Structure 1
Amino acid sequence: MSRESINVFWFRRDLRLEDNRGLSEALQGSLPVLPIFIFDQNILKGLPPDDARVTFIFDRLMAMRKILKEEYGSSLAMFHGTPESVFSELLEDFEIEAVFANHDYEPYAEKRDDQVNELFEEEYIEFRTFKDQVIFERKDIVKEDGDPYLVYTPYMKKWKSSLKDKDLKQQEIARFGDNFHKIDHVPELTLKEIGFKTSSIKVPEYDISKSLIANYGEERDYPSKDATSHLGPHLRFGTISIRLLCQKAMDERDETFLEELIWREFFMQLLWHFPKTVNDSFKKKYDRIEWRNNEEEFKAWCEGRTGYPLVDAGMRQLNETGYMHNRIRMVTGSFLCKHLLIDWRWGEAYFAEKLLDYDMSSNIGNWQWVAGCGADAAPYFRIFNPTTQITKFDKDHQYIKTWVKDLNELTYPDPIVDHKTARERCLEEYGKVNE
């Protein structure tokens, strides 16, 4: 019995059925397209069983399955395993001519794609991938000599000057919807079958309303205000199109909002050009810092028990909700690296475990920024004062009162370190590698 010939679209960081470049390209081919998603066991291992991001992905996939069934008479096949084992399983039932996907730039993803492409080549399967999660990728925005930008501002200016109408063109999907594979019974999974359970933490809906964008530049630094878009997880998993967001920012003529999107691409191209920064400081001399790495102090930081209310509020918000306001991320990160002299990699790993919007390039880029060891980093002598930051950004203590309920109780800890002493200690240690 001959196997049916199909093309496959492999969802990864692009969990949407609209304005999806790779999906659009697949549907314009001559064969029916089977959409699939793989719960990659290499990625899932080590995650807690109630990881909110896994719940978010699962719920999104189920919503997509429902749309595919109701609007296109199709479905989405869900698998758990390694990509190689999943495609080997698919080849038992189908003759696959081509696998379509969108580019993924993280080191593991590129290694994964290289490995699975070896299988495709053995089976004479074409592997076609497309730019989708960014406007500009890899070497799209570089200096005149071809070197990558290491400073944000010139990168941002080149990015803006390179933007053309075609870069924001929406990708058609519905027009080619009849090309989805017409099948109702495809592999389906439950969270339990992949070793997870529903999380009590929910990913919030994003807000890109006209009013939020209009006030974004003025209000985004105040953590007590609900003035941020909550786009992070949606950009991370591709539930919204970057082309749509950039067009929205341009339509509203909001440079601050647009430039935050450009920061994301700046960090992504840095990680692509310098994959060693996953583990190594971009400025290598900072790997000579003699971190104190006191485990008890790290535990107190993780649990929000440092005795510095703004730091503790941020960490408690993170632990309870999977989210932390960007201003507070800078304060908590600076406190860990510079007040406690704990390796930025410890903080990066903790944020990677907890953040709903964890994105490797942005997380590493921001941690190296705050530690002073990144490409376009804050100078080593810039040390956030966690007390004066309250005066500037939470003077009425609204944010602190929300998350530090025991602030005025006897149980609230004394400061874990004296600010002046910690600052002098930091400057001395950092100064050694800057001599």
Structure 2
Amino acid sequence: MSEEPTPVIYWFRQDLRLDDLPALHAAVESGAPVIPCFIIDEDAPQKWAPGNASRWWLRGSLGALAKAIEKRQGTLLVRSGCSEDVLSELIEETGAYAVYCSQAYEPWNRELEERLGARLGRLGVALHCLPGSLIFTPGDVLNRAGLPFKVFTPFWRHCRSQLPESRLLPAPGVGAFAAQVPTGQDPEAWPLASSSLQPVEDWGERWTPGADGALSALDRFLNEALSGYREDRDIPAVAGTSRLSPHLHWGEISPRHVAQVLRTDAPGDTEDDQEKFLAELGWREFNQHLLFHFPHIDEQPFKDDFKSMPWRPDADAFEAWKAGLTGYPIVDAGMRELRATGFMHNRVRMICASFLTKHLLVPWQWGARWFWETLVDADLANNSGGWQWVAGCGADASPWFRIFNPVLQGKKFDPEGAYVRHWVPELAALPDRSLHAPWELAPLLLAEADVVLGETYPHPLVDHATARAQALEAYHDRSSAPQAPPT
């Protein structure tokens, strides 16, 4: 290491890319050789340790990042342990005089940055944390009273009017990275958790983690799905969404990049569709800003009166929901898609979340935890925000009295049954008119379709009308009810 000039360290976090990365650009602009590293942080809160789906994605993304750095004659250094300790050790080994990284906004990451800055300062080493994962920096977007926005529409109206059109930062060239780095670990050898929750062996056929996969997903979306996005995004049997969420979560592409390409390279007849998708990027930003200002909402409701919501923590019902055995085909299709692919269509996520919280009155935290374990795009702010929106207890939430009828939702958004037939094949032979409510079909007609309720497919866990009435009563009485445990 002594033959090279004194290096700086670039610490990758949830920004696994090389282009349009302000902190990496600043590290390169320092003129010092850059040692790129990633730390599998074993000191982060265990309650939010990556789930199996996230671990699978991260392994692939780190492998892709390592190859991109190798093309520029560098080496990605991967180590595991406490981030503060690992970085301090690297500084001692390399003599690095500065550490650069992107800001992260989860509560524990903000605390980590504060502790790390103080610790490195005592060593005479500078810590440079720069924005990189969002379009707008939390804390900079405030209403006229100087307070955080709590309603999405005015938040996005404010942000949309200031959407930047600045030049995207280039990736480092050959020679920017240090020629030598200390020894590290093989990121692809990082084990999955000892769990058989998901058959991840064939996920490589469905997903391409890494920056190249992100660019391919964006290109597919622009050319194949953007036109008609406003309507098609709600149809689960149609490839009408971007599927960019895991790439955005892991920072394989910047949201600024996505927004800029959308506005400059999209077909000219898609203005309404573009605006709708930009608003979806805005919803992602909104949830991140909320978590920044209200860090308790990862596990506690945004609205205080929901702390006394009389949930019914029914473990058996929860297990049936997780397994896709509720007896409601659109719900079961979604839960099975999740298990098989690490993903669930957004419209179906809302239907499944509504069923758990409002038909079964199971705490929203249980569902959020399961999604955290099983989604490749598991993101704390979006996951918690989405579940609270459905449960009615979040900022700018769906009204608590809005209770999706899963039968009507299935008929509306999967009218020909293509989605349900794919994920619930035991119902494939049912006619369209009965597919979303098989219990309404006469036993003889069910038998002709090889369906025996209670044997080949379950009876409904609950009756919709009864469950709806019970949910409305529980929500109405929440202010005077004792608080049920959220876990």
Same fold (TM over 0.5): yes
Q: Does 1:60 align with 2:61?
A: yes
Is the partner of 1:208 in helix, strand or coil? helix
Following TM superposition, by how much is the alpha carbon of 1:184 offset from its aligned partner in structure 2, in angstroms? 6.8
Q: CA deviation at 1:115?
A: 2.5
Are 1:263 and 2:283 matched, yes or no? yes
Q: Would you say the 8 A contact 2:101–2:128 is kept in 1?
A: yes
Q: For the residues of structure 2 that align with 1:305 and 1:195, how far apart are their CA atoms?
A: 26
Equivalent residue, structure 2, for 1:306: 326
1:433 pairs with 2:453 = no
Please tell me whether residue 390 in structure 1 is matched to residue 390 in structure 2: no
Cα distance, 1:48–1:376 mapped onto 2, change above 3 Å: closer
Change (3 A) 1:330 1:50: closer
Which residue number corresponds to residue 180 of structure 2? 183
| Distance in 2, Cα, partners of 1:48 & 1:184 | 28
Cα deviation for residue 14 of structure 1 reads 0.7
Task: Tell me which amino acid in the other structure corresponds to 2:151.
Answer: V
Q: Is the 8 A contact 2:91 2:97 kept in 1?
A: no
Q: TM-score, normalised by structure 2?
A: 0.84
2:388 partner SS: helix
**Partner of 1:119 in structure 2?**
119
SS for the counterpart of 1:214 is coil
Shift in Å, 1:382: 0.2
1:75/1:186 contact within 8 Å kept: no
Report if aligned partners of 2:51, 2:374 keep a CA contact under 8 Å in 1. Answer: no
Q: How does 1:89-100 map to 2 (within 5 A)?
A: 89-100=89-100
1:94-135 Cα deviation digits (max 9, x unpaired): 112110001100112112222222321121111101111111
Partner of 2:239: 226
Residue deviations 1:305-325 (CA, integer Å, cap 9, x gap): 110101111011111111100
Greater Cα shift, 272-281 or 186-195: 186-195
CA distance in 1, matches of 2:70, 2:331: 47
Give 3-state SS (helix, strand or coil) of 2:227's partner: helix
C-alpha deviations, 1:382-422, integer Å up to 9, x for none?
A: 00000000111001111001111223532200000000000
Partner Cα distance (1:49, 1:151) in 2: 29
When residues 195 and 352 of structure 1 are mapped into structure 2, their CA distance, relative to the original with a 3 A threshold, is closer
Q: Distance in 1 between matches of 2:340 and 2:460?
A: 22
Instruction: Report how far residue 191 of structure 1 moved.
Output: 4.1
- Counterpart-to-counterpart distance in 1, 2:301 and 2:182: 49
Counterpart check, 1:350 vs 2:370: yes
DSSP-derived class of the 1:178 partner: coil
Which whole-Å CA distance do the structure 1 matches of 2:474 and 2:374 have between them? 29
1:380 aligns with 400
SS in 2 for 1:238: coil
Paired letter, 2:75:
S
Q: Deviations over 1:134-171 (max 9, x none)?
A: 111212221011111111111111011122323xx201
Partner of 1:402: 422
Q: 1:100 to 1:338 in 2, by over 3 A?
A: same
Query: CA 1:224/1:193 → structure 2, altered by over 3 Å: closer, same or farther?
Result: closer
In 2: Cα distance, 1:196 partner to 1:417 partner? 34
Secondary structure of the equivalent of 2:228?
A: helix
Name 2:484's counterpart in structure 1: none
Counterpart residue number, 1:88: 88
**Residue in 2 aligned with 1:34?**
35
CA–CA distance in structure 1, aligned partners of residues 463 and 51 of structure 2? 37
Instruction: Provide the rounded CA distance (Å) in 1 between the counterparts of 2:359 and 2:56.
Output: 36
Q: Which residue of 2 aligns with 1:131?
A: 131
Identity rate, percent: 37
Shift in Å at residue 44 of structure 1? 9.1
SS in 2 for 1:91: helix
Instruction: Determine the C-alpha separation between the residues in 1 that align with 2:262 and 2:192.
Output: 40
- Measured in 1, the distance between the counterparts of 2:359 and 2:250 equals 34
Equivalent position of 1:276 in the other structure: 296
Give 3-state SS (helix, strand or coil) of 2:406's partner: coil
Report whether the alignment pairs 1:151 with 2:151: yes
8 Å Cα contact 1:49-1:196 kept in structure 2: no
Sort the Cα spacing of 1:189 and 1:45 in 2 relative to 1 into closer, same or farther, 3 A.
farther
Take 1:193 and 1:134, find their aligned partners in 2: how far apart are those partners? 28
Tell me which amino acid in the other structure corresponds to 1:261: L
After superposition, the Cα gap between the structure-2 partners of 1:48 and 1:156, relative to the gap in structure 1 and judged at 3 Å, is closer
Indicate the residue corresponding to 1:321 in structure 2.
341
Instruction: Decide which of 238, 249, 252 is 2:251's aligned counterpart.
Output: 238
What is residue 204 of structure 1 aligned with on the other side? 207
Shift of 1:80: 1.1
Deviations 1:222-244 (A, max 9, x none): 00011111101100101112111
> How far apart in 1 are the matches of 2:260 and 2:135?
11
Partner amino acid for 2:386? N
Amino acid at match of 2:234: D
Equivalence for 2:162: 162
Q: Which residue of 2 aligns with 1:330?
A: 350
Per-residue deviation, residues 262-289 of structure 1 (Å, max 9, x unmatched): 1000110011010011121111101111
Amino acid at match of 1:409: V
| 3-state DSSP of counterpart to 1:148 | coil
How many aligned residue pairs are there? Answer: 431
Q: Is the 8 A contact 1:204 1:230 kept in 2?
A: no
Shift of 1:245: 0.4
Classify 1:54/1:25 alpha carbon distance in 2 versus 1 (closer, same or farther; 3 Å): same
Equivalent-residue separation in structure 2 for 1:186 and 1:145 (angstroms): 52
Q: Is the 8 A contact 1:298 1:342 kept in 2?
A: yes
Q: Is the 8 A contact 2:309 2:479 kept in 1?
A: no
User: How far 1:65 moved relative to its partner?
Assistant: 2.3
Q: Is 2:47 aligned against 1:5? A: no
The CA deviation at 1:35 is 0.5
Given that residues 73 and 184 in structure 1 are in contact (C-alpha distance below 8 angstroms), is that contact kept between their aligned partners in structure 2? no
TM-score by length of 1: 0.93
In structure 2, what is the Cα distance between the partners aligned to 1:312 and 1:9?
44
Aligned-residue CA RMSD in angstroms?
A: 2.3
Deviations 1:23-61 (A, max 9, x none): 111100031110001111235957999923323222222
SS in 1 for 2:426: coil
